[in-house]
Amino acid sequence: MIRVEYERTRPIPQRKIKAVKELQEYLKSYRYLLLVSITGVTAPVLHETRNILRERGSILKVIKNKIFLKAIESLGVNGLKDLASFLVGQNASIFTNENPFEVKLYLDKKKIYREARAGDIATNPIVIPAGNTGIPPGPMISLFNKLKIPMRIQEGSIWVTSDTVVAKPGDVISPELAELLTKLGIKPIESSVKVKAIYLDGRVIKAEDIELDPEKYRGDIANAYISALNLAINAGIPLPETLEFSIKKAHICALSLAINAGVLTIETAPYILAKAQAIATYLLEEVKRKHPEIS
């Protein structure tokens, strides 16, 4: 099979040239880059994400994959071309001078809620709260009845008589429920951009290769500290952190040795006497067991 190379016969549109140059300027101006998926992310969620990132000094830019690929290829920077394999679907890039792992952690924790659409999967329990819905009675009554939401008509509006769970996590949102939630102004669906890769110091790191769980790290550090402290204490290494425990340990060992050796001191006397009494009591009970006549 003969491969025919494509040759452009028309000039490249100025808007594409401008877009490539703009991306290159961002790549030159910021130290780090996070490539994020925005597939299924609504415009309002994207707008809010852009605003919260701007407050942190970062820029979120929706990209066209081919134009972004052209921008990184033209720069010729080490490692940037490795992002090419991630340019699938709808994407955006976050340019930042902040620690990119902190940015990822922030995005993972920052949940933005959007309106429900038919076919969405509930991410949390969805509750219709009791109270005045502000919706006038009419065709909407049948919708409340269909969704089994207890209600009454009062003061020219539909009132929900008690908090009602209309969807549990994992439930599929029906068209009727999506319509009602929209009319009630309830935004129940968690939505956020998903980090696909991070460009850091000349290399690309896959998001799945990054485990960002502060609580796990905190636990690991605490366990490591305790293990190191125990090792230093048992090895008798004199450190500011170990001296108090080492002295207590030495005191306990010396006290135990003196008690077992029968060395009578002010400190050991109560223990030696208690030990002697325990032995005497044990011996007495043994004698009584063999000679019941002894009382």
Residues 183 and 198 in one domain: no
Q: Note whether residue 35 is domain-resident.
A: yes
Task: Identify the pLDDT of residue 282.
Answer: 83
Domain closes at, from 209, 243, 264:
209
Which of residues 144, 174, 209 is at a domain's end? 209
Domain identity same for 97 and 201: yes
pTM for the full model? 0.62
Q: Where residue 88 sits, what CATH number does that domain have?
A: 3.30.70.1730
C-alpha span between 90 and 59 (Å, rounded) = 17
What pLDDT score does 9 carry? 59
Q: Kindly give, in sequence order, each residue whose CB lies less than 8 Å from that of residue 171, ignoring residues fewer than 6 positions away.
A: 121, 122
Residue appearing with tokens 């108090």: 244
Among the residues of the chain, which ranges form H helices? 14-29, 43-55, 65-75, 100-109, 140-146, 175-184, 214-235, 243-261, 269-290
252 and 240 part of one domain:
yes
Residues in the chain, pLDDT under 50: 1
From 92, 96, 124, 128, select the one nearest 111 (Cα to Cα). Answer: 124
* Predicted confidence (pLDDT) per residue in 165-187, tens digit: 999 999 999 999 999 999 999 99
Check residue 81 and report its DSSP letter. Answer: G
> Are residues 80 and 155 both part of a single domain?
no
80 with 199, same domain?
yes
Do both 185 and 236 map to the same domain?
no
| CA-based R_g, the chain, Å | 35
The residue segments making up the domain with residue 248 are 216-290
When divided into structural domains, the chain yields a total of 3
Q: Are residues 205 and 277 in the same domain?
A: no
pLDDT tens per residue, range 11-64: 777 888 888 888 889 988 999 999 999 988 888 889 999 999 999 899 999 999
Q: Which two tokens stand for residue 186?
A: 């309830």
Distance (Å, whole) CA 57 – CA 215: 26
Paired tokens of 5: 């190379």
Q: Are residues 200 and 171 in the same domain?
A: no
Same domain (yes/no): 76, 202: yes
* Same domain for 88 and 23: yes
Q: Would you state the pLDDT for residue 132?
A: 92
Residue 198 and residue 79 share a domain? yes
Q: Quick one: which of 100, 16, 31, 104 has its CA closest to 65?
A: 16
C-alpha–C-alpha distance, residues 270 and 228, integer Å: 35
Q: How far apart are CA 186 and CA 116, in angstroms?
A: 8
Does one domain contain both 250 and 264?
A: yes
